[in-house]
Chain A
Amino acid sequence: MPLPAVATERDLRLDLFRGLALWLIFLDHIPSNIVAWVTIRNYGFSDATEIFIFISGFTAAFVYGKAMRERGTLVASARILKRAWQIYVAHIFLFAIYMAEISYVATSFENPLYAEEMNVLDFLKQPDVTIVQALLLKFKPVNMDVLPLYIVLLVLFPPILWLLVRRPTVALATSVAIYAMSWEFSWNLPSYPSGHWFFNPFAWQLLFVFGAWCAMGGAERLRPMLNSRITTVVAVAYLVFAFLIALSWYIPGGSRFVPEWLAERIYPIDKTNLDVLRFAHFLALAALTVQVLPADWPGLKWPALQPAIVCGQHSLEIFCLGVFLAFAGHFIMVEFSGGTGLQILISIAGILAMIAAAMLISWYKRMEGRNPGSRTKPPDADLAGGGA
């Protein structure tokens, strides 16, 4: 059986856009942040999460697909599960930091105006239940939903990758079927204390597997379609439509401009279950991006873009740092009654901290690699460590 054509060289565009997505996620995670107005969620249906999950699927297939072909299914699967474990540990570490912040707030804040809101701290009264539920990934504080999604996607990835290496089309069709069935039968994982996962893994797997499929030769097969003029026209038209709808959310009374028959059809735009409108919005963005920026675009070498690329190359570390910095930033804003100036300062300082950390990690990995005494690592470990 002929193996599908597969991307052989690391595509810097992936790192660039994942790095940018990490910055946007950081900005969006700081509540009431004026700088968050620049992020794409305000100009259409999809947001940085779609970019992050798609690119993560792409790189996961790129790295582990190679391992699966060269070293076999068992070795590749073990590496994928090891990666899932690393992410789990990172998530629990972030949870510990979150608990520290919450506990501090709980003991220092007693404004009677917010007696109701303070009930959110009730879970501190029964740590026996809360901590166990957090370890089971059922209790997830606000903005800590992405890593659990990523963990589930990776744990389920070995069989999908096995299929992708052999029959990519069947794998993609299976993914679409799971997505459709999750809508039809309301599949989702349970949360604690009630409800379901904010990012439904059965729905969001579609983006991840689609990314993986693109890495396993799908992107090549889509090329004629991507290069066609019709795609450009449809994508631009859809992005304009989404922009106009988004505009109606932010103009006071703007909802009146959306005709009722249309509103009934498009709302609610479901983030939990990866609404088709969101998915289509991401596809339109991706199609135009690929048309405008080819893989050999010289701009990818520009020094000005290197900070984003470096962040994208160490996505797990930088993602976690971003979640932490958003907590810390909000904490500072609360303590100093955050004005606009402080919000801008925190946003810039946070992104600079992410860049500095990414450069430090790069430097460290280079040093480790150069040291003759260091144990030899499997090829592409750097990529696997920071990439997938």
Chain B
Amino acid sequence: MKRLIVAILLGLAAGPAFGQDQKTCEIPTYLLIADNELPRVAAAIKDRRLNIAVVGSGSTLLTGQDGPKGAYPVRLEASLSKRLPGIAVKVVSVAKSRETAGDMIKGFEAMLADGKPDLVIWQTGTVDAIRGVQPDEFQSVLEQGIDQIHAKGADVILMNMQFSPRTESMIAVNPYADTMRAVAQQHGALLFDRLGIMRHWSEAGQFDLYAASKDNALAKRVHECIGRALSSLVVNAAHLQSIETKNTQ
């Protein structure tokens, strides 16, 4: 409670200043409030390393010219490396398009054994919403996955869907987003509210997410900002501000 008030006050104080040198990726503080902590990340940082695994579906990938280099996992690695000097940050992405949460957890054992991640960022929900997976089934898969990751000693960030105005009347994402928020809160995971953040960007006019262009430029800019926002969430939740360099981003 006290922390929340402090966070809001800090947000109010820091908001405008942050916005001035950071026009393109501006995010209101309340969208990056950390509901839970990242103890494993904090511990790993003491050993001067940070291994992150990103598990996800199509919206974690970026195809086309220079696409893969612009996808948010790569941008997250770049942003964190810059903000946390002297820490060996490594981000591995194991995303496959068209995978539901249930498809993804089948690969969790291998993913956890291979990379020994300190933090798993789990992007999911879109494919489940498209397929109309039963909400309670979706919920139990999320719980199972989070418990599996925690058992291997890694922290979890759940990332929800993109805000996609053109398909809003075709994909009912909200019930799935609500489930993700509730599960994250109750199972000691962090939620990265990509849906809320992108909706804010759209409403604030920072990105024209209605655009129908085939151009990759918009997608790359959005992924850049998602990567930076994620790095801010990691820094906030693991309390890494002390080792953060002053010239951030």
A interface, CB within 8 angstroms of B: 31-32, 101-102, 105, 108-121, 141-143, 191, 193-196, 198, 252-253, 255-256, 260, 263-264, 267-268, 270-272, 326-327, 330-331, 333-334, 337-338
**In the complex, chain B residues whose CB is within 8 Å of the CB of A338:** 165, 210
- A116-B126, A119-B98, A195-B132 in contact; A142/B171 too (CB < 8 A)? yes
Q: Is the CB of B132 within 8 A of A193?
A: yes
Bound form: Cα–Cα A162–B31 in Å? 55
**In the complex, chain B residues whose CB is within 8 Å of the CB of A196:** 134
**In the complex, chain A residues whose CB is within 8 Å of the CB of B134:** 194-196
**In the complex, chain A residues whose CB is within 8 Å of the CB of B243:** none
Bound form: Cα–Cα A326–B98 in Å? 28
B20 within 8 A of A: no
- A32-B199, A112-B62, A142-B172 in contact; A118/B167 too (CB < 8 A)? yes
B9 within 8 A of A: no
Segment with Cβ contacts to A, from B40-48, B104-112, B211-219: B211-219
Contact among A143, A253, A326 for B33, CB-based, below 8 A: A253
Expressed in whole angstroms, the minimum distance between the Cβ of B161 and any Cβ of chain A is 8
B58 within 8 A of A: yes
| Complex A-B, nearest 8 residue pairs according to Cβ-Cβ distance, in ascending order | A116-B58, A252-B30, A31-B168, A113-B219, A195-B132, A337-B210, A117-B167, A116-B59
Q: Is the CB of A253 within 8 A of B30?
A: yes
Q: Is the CB of A111 within 8 A of B132?
A: no
Q: Is the CB of A113 within 8 A of B169?
A: no
Q: Is the CB of A253 within 8 A of B165?
A: no
Bound form: Cα–Cα A111–B169 in Å? 17
**In the complex, chain A residues whose CB is within 8 Å of the CB of B169:** 31, 101, 142-143, 326-327, 330-331
- The residue on A at minimum CB distance from B32 is A252
B159 within 8 A of A: no
**In the complex, chain B residues whose CB is within 8 Å of the CB of A256:** 1, 4, 35
**In the complex, chain B residues whose CB is within 8 Å of the CB of A252:** 8, 30-31, 33
**A-B CB contact pairs (8 Å), 22 listed:** A31-B168, A32-B165, A32-B199, A101-B169, A102-B170, A108-B212, A111-B213, A112-B67, A113-B209, A113-B218, A114-B59, A116-B162, A117-B130, A117-B162, A117-B171, A194-B134, A260-B186, A268-B179, A268-B182, A330-B169, A333-B165, A334-B210
Expressed in whole angstroms, the minimum distance between the Cβ of B114 and any Cβ of chain A is 24
- A116-B127, A118-B167, A271-B175 in contact; A111/B214 too (CB < 8 A)? yes
**In the complex, chain A residues whose CB is within 8 Å of the CB of B82:** none
Q: Is the CB of B139 within 8 A of A268?
A: yes
